[in-house]
């Protein structure tokens, strides 16, 4: 029987110890093979395995049990340090920061949202490479780049700072973009999280890390609230496009341009999630509940719009957030409601965000993650473990195409070159071995690249499972009562709280024409009244309602739900009548 020789006093198991270079446990079974094998796992180095095996066999012959315990630890520690130093990245810290500061894309995109998208590429590498090598030069290089980015911010007429530049949807105007702020500040805040959770790093970098937190609090969260871009409706919330602009020759005075494209329209889910990521990092650093609540409302809004059937979820790239997203005259939404026809990376990134929210204990539970895994592996994947292919998450595109692609390209002029309807959702790597197996195909014959080493350290160090990384204690998430519907791709009420004076918009979208019935129920499933019954065409359908009984018999007050019955199922959305 193997005898355990531990160098630390706790009784943590081997898997826990393998995840950190700080704790070690060696197993001596007379040959040293288990210890050598563990060293190989820890270090990923064949030389370490050979030397430890030889060492333990020699020590067994000498009968030096206690020397093995002491000297063995010293040997493995030395090998660990040696191997760590031998990690060769294809770029130095100085080269990375210099290359990113001198990004050729900045010539044509020197400012605004486009600058932010280009500047975001590679931003995580400073922290990731530090975590891989423990070399603080990566953090120093990161600070140089972060400060370069902060230095590119300009002051708006309202006194806040942002990456001001060409407005992405109308080049006559300039503006700072919420998503531009979010994607850069989120990346910079990853440095702040790392530093402020490590006492040693905090001594050297704490002041700088905190300065970035203050920028995010003031020039992101506070700024967009001050501008009236945060919309809240009970438990739901999200951001809308700012309605004021700038002339590039005059950054001191706002311009009102209601005719500009997308003014006042809410952001798609991927941009909402980018904002939520900033809030989660501020919450993690400061512990201030306000920021957690903000992120929770964003994620809860998205989850409440998920379509559910056959034990999986599907959700759109965009869905309306508030009445301003609907054109009542045209009887349609002001932005298209669909799964993005050919940029699958949007949904893949959203899955990463959902996984992160899960780890924080926000909105999503294990059942949600399992249903999302089902979407990726049961709906999208071709079941080929050697040459995997993926279709759209809405189940369309079995012939490598997606319904509506031609019309989308005609309207927006995008190239077919980057078309990609579906892909592996790597945000699920923490949870499912099949996802890991498919992801591992890209590392065939590769055990030395930085990408593989990061994957080995951050993912493979732990078995797949549903343990949350950041949540403390018992987690309770708000309930969403899902019902099954194949044909209804959208159903919502705007606003969720029916106003006393005015009306709410009851809106849905269907894949096919058919018979639709809209009813109001109590939370206990007692039908209160019918609001519509009739045949509708494929696409968007809406009615407006003032919260009153159509028959004039009852006065409604309190919590209810609207039910759309169509095709083979129905969907529901909760409402409050004041």
Looking at residue 277, its pLDDT comes to: 98
Q: What is the 3-state secondary structure (H, E, C) of 65-126?
A: HHHHHHHHHHHHHHHHHHHHHHCCCCCCHHHHHHHHHCCCHHHHCCCHHHHHHHHHCCCCHH
**Same domain, yes or no: 433 and 556:** no
CA distances from 95 to 102, 107, 124, 311, 390 (A): 10, 19, 15, 48, 36
Lowest mean per-residue pLDDT among 391-395, 428-432, 455-459, 479-483: 391-395
Please give the share of the chain, as a percent, with pLDDT higher than 90. 76
Quickly state the pLDDT bin for 395 (edges 50, 70, 90): confident
Looking at residue 86, its pLDDT comes to: 62
CATH number for the domain harbouring residue 568: 2.60.40.10
Read off the pTM: 0.83
Looking at residue 127, its pLDDT comes to: 98
Distance CA 489, CA 509 (A): 6
| Residue 42 in domain | yes
**Same domain, yes or no: 409 and 537:** no
Which 3 state secondary structure label does DSSP give 502? coil
Looking at residue 78, its pLDDT comes to: 38
What is the average pLDDT score of the chain?
Answer: 85
**Same domain, yes or no: 246 and 137:** yes
Q: Which residues pair with 327 in a beta bridge?
A: 332
Among residues 446, 481, 516, which one ends one of the domains?
A: 481
Task: Give tens-digit pLDDT for 93-133.
Answer: 999 999 999 999 999 999 999 999 999 999 999 999 999 99
Quickly state the pLDDT bin for 397 (edges 50, 70, 90): low
Number of domains in the chain: 4
**Same domain, yes or no: 103 and 200:** yes
Lowest mean per-residue pLDDT among 206-210, 245-249, 390-394: 390-394
Looking at residue 423, its pLDDT comes to: 94
With a cut of 90, say whether residue 467 has pLDDT above it: yes
Mean pLDDT value of segment 309-314: 96
| Residue 349 in domain | no
With a cut of 90, say whether residue 216 has pLDDT above it: yes
| Residue 273 in domain | yes
| Residue 241 in domain | yes
Among residues 62, 86, 110, which one ends one of the domains?
A: 86
With a cut of 80, say whether residue 33 has pLDDT above it: no
Task: Give tens-digit pLDDT for 315-352.
Answer: 999 999 999 999 999 999 999 999 988 889 999 999 99
**Same domain, yes or no: 119 and 51:** no
**Same domain, yes or no: 93 and 232:** yes
**Same domain, yes or no: 97 and 64:** no
Q: Extract the tokens encoding 416.
A: 């077919």
With a cut of 50, say whether residue 72 has pLDDT above it: no
Quickly state the pLDDT bin for 415 (edges 50, 70, 90): very low
Mean pLDDT value of segment 1-9: 34
Looking at residue 87, its pLDDT comes to: 77
CA distances from 149 to 101, 107, 204, 281, 398 (A): 9, 15, 21, 19, 43
Mean pLDDT value of segment 486-495: 97
Looking at residue 500, its pLDDT comes to: 86
Looking at residue 122, its pLDDT comes to: 96
| Residue 547 in domain | yes
**Among 304, 326, 235, CA closest to 562:** 304
| Residue 311 in domain | no
Looking at residue 152, its pLDDT comes to: 98
Mean pLDDT value of segment 3-24: 33
**Same domain, yes or no: 80 and 153:** no
Taking CA 384 as the corner, what is the angle to CA 382 and CA 388, rounded to the nearest 5 degrees? 75
**Same domain, yes or no: 136 and 10:** no
| Residue 319 in domain | no
**Same domain, yes or no: 537 and 442:** no
| Residue 282 in domain | yes
Is there a contact between 177 and 116 (Cβ–Cβ < 8 Å)? yes
With a cut of 70, say whether residue 284 has pLDDT above it: yes
Distance CA 285, CA 194 (A): 10
Is there a contact between 52 and 36 (Cβ–Cβ < 8 Å)? yes
Quickly state the pLDDT bin for 391 (edges 50, 70, 90): confident
Q: Which residues contact 163 (CB under 8 A, 6 or more apart)?
A: 111, 112, 113, 115, 116, 152, 153, 154, 176, 177, 180, 181, 184
With a cut of 70, say whether residue 555 has pLDDT above it: yes
**Which of the two residues, 21 and 536, has the higher pLDDT score?**
536
Among residues 481, 512, 530, which one ends one of the domains?
A: 481
With a cut of 50, say whether residue 413 has pLDDT above it: no
With a cut of 80, say whether residue 398 has pLDDT above it: no
Task: Give tens-digit pLDDT for 131-178.
Answer: 999 999 999 999 999 999 999 999 999 999 999 999 999 999 999 999
**Among 155, 125, 152, CA closest to 137:** 125
**Same domain, yes or no: 136 and 283:** yes
Give the position of tokens 């994620």: 299
Task: Give tens-digit pLDDT for 184-196.
Answer: 999 999 999 999 9
Which residue range is the domain that position 455 belongs to? 340-344+355-481
**Same domain, yes or no: 33 and 131:** no
Looking at residue 14, its pLDDT comes to: 32
H/E element, 141: helix 137-151
**Which of the two residues, 167 and 48, has the higher pLDDT score?**
167
Is there a contact between 211 and 143 (Cβ–Cβ < 8 Å)? no
With a cut of 90, say whether residue 60 has pLDDT above it: no
């Amino acid at each position: 029987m193997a005898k355990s020789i531990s160098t630390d006093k706790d009784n943590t198991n081997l898997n826990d110890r393998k995840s950190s270079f700080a704790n070690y446990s060696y197993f001596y079974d007379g040959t040293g093979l288990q210890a050598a094998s563990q060293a190989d796992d820890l270090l990923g180095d064949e030389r370490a395995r050979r030397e430890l095996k030889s060492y333990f066999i020699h020590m067994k012959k000498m009968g030096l049990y206690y020397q093995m315990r002491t000297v063995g630890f010293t040997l493995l520690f030395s090998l660990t340090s040696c191997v760590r130093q031998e990690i060769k990245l294809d770029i130095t810290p100085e080269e990375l920061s210099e290359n990113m500061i001198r990004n050729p894309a900045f010539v044509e995109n020197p400012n605004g949202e486009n600058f932010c998208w280009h500047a975001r590429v590679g931003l995580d590498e400073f922290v990731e490479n530090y975590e891989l090598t423990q070399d603080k030069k990566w953090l120093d290089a990161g600070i140089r780049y972060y400060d370069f980015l902060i230095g590119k911010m300009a002051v708006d007429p309202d006194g806040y700072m942002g990456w001001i530049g060409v407005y992405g949807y109308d080049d006559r105007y300039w503006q700072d973009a919420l998503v531009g702020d979010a994607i850069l500040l989120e990346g910079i805040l990853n440095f702040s999280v790392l530093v402020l959770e490590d006492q040693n790093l905090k001594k050297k970098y704490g002041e700088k890390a905190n300065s970035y937190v203050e920028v995010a609090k003031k020039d992101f969260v506070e700024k967009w609230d001050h501008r009236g871009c945060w919309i809240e409706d009970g438990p739901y919330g999200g951001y809308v496009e700012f309605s004021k602009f700038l002339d590039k020759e005059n950054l001191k005075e706002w311009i009102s341009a209601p005719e500009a494209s997308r003014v006042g329209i809410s952001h798609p889910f991927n941009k909402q999630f980018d904002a939520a990521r900033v809030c989660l990092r501020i919450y993690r650093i400061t512990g201030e509940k306000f920021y957690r609540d903000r992120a929770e409302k964003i994620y809860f809004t998205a989850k409440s719009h998920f379509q559910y059937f056959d034990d999986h979820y599907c959700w759109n790239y965009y869905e309306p957030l508030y009445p301003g997203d609907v054109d009542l005259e045209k009887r349609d939404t002001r932005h298209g409601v669909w799964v993005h026809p050919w940029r699958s990376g949007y949904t893949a990134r959203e899955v990463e965000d959902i996984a992160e929210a899960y780890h924080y204990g926000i909105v999503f539970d294990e059942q949600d993650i399992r249903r999302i895994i089902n979407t990726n592996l049961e709906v999208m994947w071709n079941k080929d473990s050697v040459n995997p292919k993926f279709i759209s998450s809405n189940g369309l595109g079995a012939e490598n195409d997606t319904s509506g692609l031609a019309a989308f390209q005609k309207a927006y002029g995008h190239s077919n070159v980057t078309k990609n309807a579906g892909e592996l959702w790597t945000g699920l790597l923490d949870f499912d071995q099949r996802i890991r197996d498919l992801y591992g195909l890209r590392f065939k014959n590769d055990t030395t690249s930085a990408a593989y080493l990061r994957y080995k350290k951050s993912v493979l160090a732990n078995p797949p499972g549903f343990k949350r990384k950041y949540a403390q204690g018992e987690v309770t998430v708000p309930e969403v009562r899902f019902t099954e519907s194949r044909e209804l791709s959208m159903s919502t009420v705007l606003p969720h709280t029916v106003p006393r004076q005015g009306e709410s918009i009851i809106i849905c979208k269907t894949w096919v024409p058919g018979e639709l019935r809209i009813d109001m129920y109590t939370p206990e499933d007692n039908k209160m009244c019918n609001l519509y019954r009739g045949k509708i065409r494929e696409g968007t359908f809406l009615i407006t309602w003032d919260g009153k009984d159509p028959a004039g018999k009852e006065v409604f007050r309190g919590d209810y739900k609207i039910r759309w019955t169509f095709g083979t199922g129905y969907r529901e959305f909760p409402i409050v009548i004041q």
